[in-house]
Every structure is written in structure tokens, then in C-alpha cells.
Amino acid sequence: MLADCQSFYASVEKAEHPEYQDRPLVVAGDPERRSGIVLAACPKAKEKGVKTAERLGEAMAKCPELVVIKPRMQRYIDVSMKITDIYKSFTDLVEPYSIDEQFLDVTGSLHLYGCTPEELARMIQNYVQEATGVYTRFGIADSKILAKMACDNYGKKSPSGIYTLSKDHLDGTLWKLPVSDMFMAGSRMTRHFMAMGLPTIGSVARTPLAKLKQMMRRKFGRNSDIQAELYWRIANGIDDSPVRPGTHQVDPKSVGHMMTLPRDYGRLEEIKVVLLELTELVCQRCRGLGFMGHVVSVHCTGADFDRPSGFSRQMKMDDPSNVTNQVYRWACRLLEKHWDGLPVRQVGISLSQLTPDQEYQLSLFDMDREKWMALERTTDALKRKYGDAIIIRAVSMTEAGQALDRSTKIGGHYR
């Protein structure tokens, strides 16, 4: 099953504000500015023509009576985790796909409830709505890719919110749909398929794989075989990947953080303040994961998009580290060496070539390392308990600092 929460952010807000239940509502990035972006629109708002990702001013022009609510990302995360726990009470095989979508494998659970997959989906749907006020839609199939397309193309349009897509009857269902409705076929890829004479999902599925590869080679070049097979498998509903609860819990290859600045930073001292804040974030994440990095990378993007400037460079440190001050010294070397002096709008830093932090080489020239590590373990514990703003560096209180503002946000949106 692919379970999808309808207009998730808006549904959470409506559940907690019954007075808005019968009114068109959107969650927008910045309700104070009409240029803010619509993050979620409830069904009543969509009936008025309001669309997700459009500018708030455009949405309000279509629907002057629109209720606009500022996003509360921490609340949405909490509700999403609560819904996940509900799913886990029905099956231990739950794989998050996004904050509002999850895959469930109920193959081994059906006999416990003595019902059909549709009946079990209805049971879960009712349970979630009673517990959170959020309405969920379900796509049911024998593979993840078909469950996803069943939900997107049928479940979301079904009065029950539940649809089973049988692999044995694709020619009468999925294959009749336009190729634009195929998973991972965006507007550009749709135009390419149309130009190749493949207007429907079925036309892609029925094309022999060898011929489709040949057609895509002519269109995109020699290295398109993998892409051709990907789309051919999607169209045919072929997906061998199981539902893995720990699919996102893998050891990272690198840990990084990037930030778009609220204004152009034109002085080295200003850029260094943000670089230090980002270095602290990256090192804090590394410590939480139990890793140290050997290679530090710094990225700066210029403010003038018409004349791109900036740099992206990396350097190997003498020893792997996750101590903020040590990594920051190396990051400053990269910044001072490669910054061209032009205004900067985006700054990023990452650590790669990660190694476990249980063992590391002691150095006669770095006798304070243990002291710094103990200090940072203490500040990490404080931030976990009381929030990132409980203790910050003095430079973050200057005009260039962004740590205080960032501590009130998740993913760029207010908590």
C-alpha cells in the first residue's frame, strides 16, 4: 500500500481549527507577504483554482476569502510521526516516502484481521482520521511502483480514497492514461515521449525494451539505456524493491549544510560568520551520527545569477575531525584562497571521507582536542534538550549572524 495524507499541512491546521472547517484554507510560507508560496491547499481552496507552489498573491486573487496560515513544521513532523506509529500498529513493514506518504507491506498482516486489503485500508483510514483528523488515500498493488501510481491516479480521485491496481489488468486501466500520468515523467520527459510517438503509459510499456533503448539513444545519446529501462519498468509496473523500514538509516557518504543568505554578503568577515555557523551545524550532525570527516568542502555562489561567480573547492585535513574549531580553520583556508571578492548569496560546507569517531590519532601538536570534544559534547546535550538557541556563539549576535533566526525554523520554515 501507498498511504498518502490529503493536503497534509492544511489538513493538520483544519483539524486543529474547527472554525475553518468549511472555508478554503492554505498554508503559505510567508502570510505577511503576498509573494509567499502556497505550501498546501485544502480541497475547498483547490476548487477555487488555488494550486500548491503558486504565489500567495495569485492564490488570493482567485479566492479573496482564503484563510492563510503560517506553517508550523514541527507540528507537522509530530503528526506525521503519530500517523507512522498508527501504521506500525497494523504492520511492522512501514517505509516513509515523504512527510505525508508511506509505503506499507501488509502481506503478513492480513490473516490477523481476517479481511481483504481494501477493508484493512479502510480500517487504517478511519483510525488515522479519528486520531489526527487527517484524511488518507490508499493505492494498493503488488509492488511499490504500482501502489504509488494507483494512489496518485485513482485513489486520490476515488470517493472512498482507496483503489487496488491489478497487474493483470493494466491494459484496461493504467495503460490507457496519458504518459504525463506516469511516475517520474515530468513535463519535459512527457514532451520527449510525445515526440517519440509514445503518448500513453501503455505505448511505453508495449514498446520492446531493446527498441525503447534505441529510440532514447537517438534522442538523448549513448548513455540513456538505464533511463530507458527505468521508464519501461515503471510503465510495466515492475519493481523488485521491498518495503524497508530502515531504508533511510544508512551510513552517509558525506554530511553537509547549505544556506541561502537573506541578502548579499560582500565582506569576508560576514561570510566567515555564516561559514562558522554552518560548520558548527555540520560538525554537530557528524557527532550525532558518530563520524569524523577527513575532507572539508566549501561552496559559495555569487549573487549575480546572470553572471555566475563563486567557487566549490575541497581540501584534505591532516587528521579526520568533527570538532567545530578545527574544521572551521580548514574551511577558512579554502574561503580565503578561492573567494573572488564578489558578493555571495549562498554558502555551504560539507565533510566527507567519513570514519567512525570511536578511534582517532592523537597528536602532540593538538593537546586541546580532548577538551574541545568534551565541550562540544556538553553543548550538543544542551541543544538537544533545550533547542539550538540555548547557547550560540557571540558572532551569531552580529548583523551577519543567522543562527538565531535559523533556530526557529525547520527546512527553512518556522517551527
Q: What are the CA-CA distances from residue 12 to residues 7, 30, 95, 292, 303 (Å)?
A: 9, 18, 21, 39, 37
* Nearest CA-CA partner of 220 in 180, 201, 192: 192
Q: What are the CA-CA distances from residue 82 to residues 127, 131, 240, 268 (Å)?
A: 11, 9, 29, 45
Name 257's bridge partners: 349
Residue 71 is given by DSSP the state: -
Instruction: Beginning with the edge strand found earlier in the chain, give each strand of the sheet holding 101-104 in spatial order.
Output: 94-98, 101-104, 2-5, 136-140, 162-164
Taking the C-alpha atoms of residue 145 and residue 167, their distance in angstroms, rounded to an integer, is 11
237 alpha carbon, distance to own chain's centre:
24
Q: Establish whether 376 is a catalytic residue.
A: no
The one catalytic residue among 13, 101, 270, 277:
101
Residue type, 81: M
Q: Contact at 8 Å (CB) between 152 and 234?
A: no
Residue matched to cell numbers 516513509: 96
Instruction: Beginning with the edge strand found earlier in the chain, give each strand of the sheet holding 254-265 in spatial order.
Output: 254-265, 344-356, 291-302, 310-321
- The secondary structure of 104-150, three-state, reads ECCCCCHHHHCCCHHHHHHHHHHHHHHHHCCCEEEEECCCHHHHHHH
Q: What are the CA-CA distances from residue 194 to residues 130, 165, 178, 202, 219 (Å)?
A: 44, 25, 10, 13, 12
Taking the C-alpha atoms of residue 106 and residue 341, their distance in angstroms, rounded to an integer, is 58
Burial 49-74 (b: 16+ CB within 10 A, else e): ebebebbbeebbeebeebbbbebbbe
Beta strands of 232-290 (E only): which ranges? 254-265
Q: Contact at 8 Å (CB) between 409 and 387?
A: no
Catalytic residues: 101
